Structure 1
């Protein structure tokens, strides 16, 4: 009978070895997944900071428009200070050809 018990004992050891290998595989896989998630989280935090900066910039632009900017009839906004920092007492309008084209700005 002892002869038949020995294979069973080896079988149990084989099962234990397999379970250990599976456990090591899953731990390694979990470690890799965790590292990937940490990297993704760091990237998302950077994106969040960038989006907050963009949002703040848009809020400033909106505030400038409501305080000193004006809108044209077609809904396009322009600042009352020109590109060269002209006085804000009068709006700076970019010249536009009566046809709506700006080609004449570049004529020699």
Structure 2
């Protein structure tokens, strides 16, 4: 399942972690790299190359919050990629759901939510 999603994101030159970060910061201007790392359970050593890759691609930038902190925010190109990520993930989720027999679909999502909640 994850390899299928990775393949769908590949034309955007994004990994699942990249897409997840774009989704997380989409409309936010207050999340620091350490806060993003905590939410996504990514260690600092892995956050640095992730953010460097997204910055180099022009998808995110750092924006001062105060004298000590910087928020990670989407650039215009990042917003464009985010729209494509949302479209890809929605299509992916629809395709996954289509694999579930119709009589079980109404119960699947609530059951999954109960597992993570």
User: By the TM > 0.5 criterion, same fold?
Assistant: no
Q: TM-score, normalised by structure 1?
A: 0.26
Largest Rg, 1 or 2? 1
Q: TM-score, normalised by structure 2?
A: 0.24
